[in-house]
Amino acid sequence: MCIGAHVDRMRAGGYNPIGVLRMNTEPVLKPLYSREDIAAAVEKLANEIRRDYLGKRLVIVGILKGSFMFIADLIRQLNIPVEVEFVVLSSYGEGTESSGNIRMVKGLSTDIKGRDVLVVEDIIDSGYTINFLLDYLRRHRPASFKLCVLLDKRERRKVPVVIDYRGFTVPNKFVVGYGIDWDEKFRYLPDIRYID
C-alpha cells in the first residue's frame, strides 16, 4: 500500500478504516497468515519468478513503504542477479475509500527502457494505485513487465488488474504486519493479522 494511504483513510473523522475504533484505541488483531505460511508463499513465488527470468537482467520495482519486507525476502529466495528500484506514491481522498487520486512522490532513478521489469507489491485492493504505477512504467518503455503481489484483496477491486504472481487471495479485512501498517503501527510483526 502506498505511503499515506492508510493514514488518509483513517484520519477523516478520527476513525480507523473499519470505522469502529478511535485512533487512540489499541485494535484487536487476529492471525491470518503465520510466518511459516508467508515463507512458503515467498518460496513458491521465487521459484516461479526464477524460472521465468533466469538469464535476464531483471529490475524489481517496489512501492514504499509496505513492500520492503516482502521484497527483501523475495530477493533472497530468488538467488539470481536483480536490480531494485523503489517508488513512493501518495493517494488522497476522504473516509475509508480511495478516491483513485494518486500522485508520484518519488519516481524511478534507473532507466528501465528495454529492460524486464517485475513490479512487487505487498497488497492490492481497489487497484487504483497499481494501475497508476503500471501506466507510469509503460511510459518508460520497458521490454516487459509483470506484477507480483503477496496479498490480493479481490473483493475490493474497483479497476481490473492482471496479476502474474500471487501469494494469497485475502478476505475483505484490514490487514497489518509483515511491512503493512495501520497509522505506521504493526509493520514489525513477522506474520499477517487482521483488525477484528
Q: Which residues are catalytic?
A: 125
Instruction: Give Dmax over CA atoms of the chain in angstroms.
Output: 51
Rounded to an integer, what distance in angstroms lies between the CA atom of residue 98 and that of residue 125? 10
Are residues 113 and 141 in contact, defined by beta-carbon separation less than 8 angstroms?
yes
Are residues 142 and 115 in contact, defined by beta-carbon separation less than 8 angstroms?
yes
Cα 73 versus chain centre, distance: 14
Task: Write the burial class of residue 190 (CB in 10 Å: 0-12 exposed, 13-18 middle, 19+ buried).
Answer: exposed
Are residues 56 and 116 in contact, defined by beta-carbon separation less than 8 angstroms?
yes
Q: Which residue has cell 502474474? A: 164
**What are 94's three cell numbers?**
476522504
φ, ψ (nearest 5 deg) of residue 62: -120, 155
Rounded to an integer, what distance in angstroms lies between the CA atom of residue 170 and that of residue 153? 5
The sign one gets for the Cα dihedral 61, 166, 96, 35 is negative
